[in-house]
Structure 1
Amino acid sequence: MEAFYLPDPSDPTRFESTELTRGPWSPDAQHGGPPSALLGHVIERCEPRENFRVARVAVEILGPVPLAPLVVEAKVTRPGRSVELIEATMSSERGPVLKANAWRIRQAEPELELPDGIVADETRPGPDTAAAETHFESAFDVGFHQGIEYRFVAGDFAELGPATCWLRLRRPIVAGTTPSPLERTLVAADHGNGISTVLDWNSYLFINTDLTVTLHREPIGEWICLDAVTYPEPNGTGLAESRLFDEKGAVGRGTQTLLIGHRK
C-alpha cells in the first residue's frame, strides 16, 4: 500500500480508502487521523491564495468512517481580503461522515517586528532521544499503525497518564503527493486522546467527537510532537489537550471532546 488514500483520476473529489486507514477497534472503520488529514489535503487545495495559510481546522466526527470510497469537497463560504472561512465535507455511500471548518489567514508581509522574548521558543526532547520506536498494539495486522512511526520520550501506549510522543508518517496521505505540514499535524493531533488516556483500555471507552487544531506557525520537518493530557469527568465527558511541537519549538494546540463510558 503506497498511501492511506488513492485519488480517482476521473474525479478529483473521490478517494479510495486503503487498509492503512483501518483503526484499532473495527475491521471496517477508519482511525480518525487519516480522514482528518484528507480533509486538510482538500482544504489546502480549495481556491488557494498566495501568502495565505490555514491557521485553524475544526473537524466534527458525524459517525464512523468506513473503509470505502469517499467523496471529499471543500468551498470558501466566507471570502475576505485578509481572513476567509472554508467548509469541507466527507461522505461515503451512507452519507456524511465528517465535516470541517477552516480559517485561512493572510500572513504579514513584511513580517512583524515583535519584542524580544514574546515569540514562543519552548522545545521538547527530540525523537532521537527516545530509546526505541514504540509499536501500537492493534487487533488487526494491517491498519493505520503501519503507516505511522511513534517515538515516546515520556509515557507509553501501555502507561496511563500524560505522555509526550513524536509521530511521523511512513506513507503519504494521498498517493502521488508529499504530505503538507497541515496534513502531518492533523493525523498526529488525533492521537492525543490515545496516548494520554488515564483510564484502562479494557474497562473504559473514550471516543472523541471532534478534533480542533490551531497553529500559530507552520510546522517544519517530518516529525510532530504531542505533549498530551486527558481530563475525564464522572459525568462521562472529557477533554484531551495536546501541545504541539516540531523540532524547533511550539507550533500550536490540539483538543478533542470525549465521550467516556464503561466498555461492555
Structure 2
Amino acid sequence: MSDAFYLPDPEQPGRYFSTESTRGPWSPDAQHGGPPSALLGHAIERCEPREGFQVGRVAVEILGPVPLAPLTVETKVARPGRSVELVQAILSTDRGPVMTANAWRFKLAEPKLELPEMFLPTGARPGPEHAAEPAPFPSNQPVGFHTAIEYRFVTGSFAEPGPAICWIRLKHPIVAGTTPSPLERTLAAADSGNGVSAVLDWDSHLFINTDLTVTLHRQPVGEWVCLDAVTYPQPHGIGMAETALFDERGPLGRGTQTLLVARR
C-alpha cells in the first residue's frame, strides 16, 4: 500500500494515480468520497493562488462512483474579483467527469475586523485524547480509506446508530510529496459525516451522499478534524447529514450532505 492517497503523474500535470488508500468501505473498485474531495481541494488551492485569499466554501457534486483509476483534475477561475472569486474544478477519468467542485475564495480582512465578542464562534469538543480506542470499521475491505485514517469517537460509534462526535486524522498525504493543507484535511474528513452518524443498519440500507458542501469561517489548526454529526433520514428516501466541524481550538464551520436513503 502506498503512503499517499494519490501519486502525481510525472509526465502529465494534473493527472494522478489512485492508490488503495482511496478505496471505500463497500466496493473494491470505488473510492470513498473523502479522498477525491480533498484532491479537488488540493487542485483548487493551486489554481492561480493569490496572497491574502482563503477558501471559505467548497461545494462538491458527486456525479457517480469514483473508480480506483487514474484521475485528471482541471481548474479555472470562473469568476474573478477583487475581493471574492469563484474557482471551479472537474475531476475526470478517461470515461468522463466523476466529480465537480465550486469554491468561493475570499480576500482576508487586513487589519482584522473588530467584532463584538458575542459574534465570535465559541465552544469546543473533548479532544481525541479523551476518546476511546476505536472498534474495527464495519467493512470487508482489508485496505481502504478506513485503514488510512485514524478515527476516535467521543460519543457514538459505527455500531451505535445516531448522532456522533468523531475525530479524524489522515495517516498519509492526499498527494504524495506534499503536506495535507487544512482545506484538504477538512474535506477528507467531512465526507464521513453520514457514516459516523448513521441511523440505519449498514447491512440493510444505503445512505449515499450525492454532494458535500463545506463552509469554513477559519482554517483548522493541527492534524485532527472533529465531526459533530447528525443524520436525518426521511421515509420518502431523501435524507441529510449535517456536521459541525471543529479542531482542538474550537469551531471551524459546517458540512452538509444530501443523501439517497434506500433499502439494499
Per the normalisation by structure 2, the TM-score is 0.98
* 1:3 is the counterpart of 2:4: yes
Instruction: Indicate the SS of the match to 2:36.
Output: helix
- Equivalents in 1 of 2:27, 2:182: separation in Å? 29
Offset at 1:256? 0.2
The reply to whether residue 34 of structure 1 matches residue 27 of structure 2 is no
- Asked if the contact 1:24/1:139 (under 8 Å) is kept, the reply is yes
Residue pairs, 1:1-264, within 5 angstroms: 1-263=2-264
Q: What is the alpha-carbon distance in structure 1 between the residues aligned to residue 198 and residue 151 of structure 2?
A: 16
Deviation at 1:100, TM superposition (A): 0.4
What per-residue deviation string (whole Å, max 9, x for no partner) do you get for residues 28-52 of structure 1?
Answer: 1000000000000000000000000
8 Å CA contact 1:135, 1:150 repeated in 2: no
Deviations along 1:182-238, one digit per CA (max 9) or x if unpaired, are 000001000000010111111111110000000011111100000000001111000
Letter in 2 for 1:40: G
Q: Deviations over 1:105-128 (max 9, x none)?
A: 000000011112321111000000
Contact 1:130 1:153 in 2 (8 A): yes
CA deviations on 1:133-189 (whole Å, 9 max, x unpaired) are 343232111111121000000000110000000000000000000000000000100
| Superposed CA RMSD | 0.8
The amino acid that maps onto 1:135 is P
Cα distance in 2 for partners of 1:201, 1:231 equals: 15
> Helix, strand or coil: the match of 1:187?
helix
Whole-angstrom CA distance in 1 between matches of 2:236 and 2:143: 35
SS of 1:151's partner is strand
The alpha-carbon deviation at position 103 of structure 1 amounts to 0.1
Q: CA-to-partner distance for each residue in 1:6-62, whole Å, 9 max, x for gaps?
A: 001122210000011010111110000000000000000000000000000000000
Distance 1:18 1:203 in 2: 29
CA distance in 1, matches of 2:215, 2:195: 19
Counterparts of 2:6 and 2:135, CA distance in 1: 24
Q: Which runs of 4+ in 1 moved over 2 A?
A: none
Distance 2:97 2:257 in 1: 20
Would the aligned equivalents of 1:134 and 1:150 in 2 still touch at CA under 8 Å? Answer: no
8 Å CA contact 1:120–1:250 kept in 2: the answer is yes
Stretches of structure 2 lacking an aligned partner (at least 5 in a row) = none
Relative to structure 1, the CA distance from residue 134 to residue 167 in structure 2 (aligned partners, 3 Å threshold; closer, same or farther) is farther
Shift of 1:80: 0.1
Paired letter, 1:199: L
SS across alignment from 2:13? strand
Supply the AA of the counterpart residue of 2:28: P
For structure 1, the residue ranges without an aligned partner over 5 or more in a row are none
Amino acid at match of 1:73: E
State the distance in 2 between where 1:233 and 1:117 align: 35
CA distance in 2, matches of 1:228, 1:100: 22
One-letter identity of the residue aligned with 1:103? W
Alpha-carbon separation, structure 1, partners of 2:58 and 2:211: 11
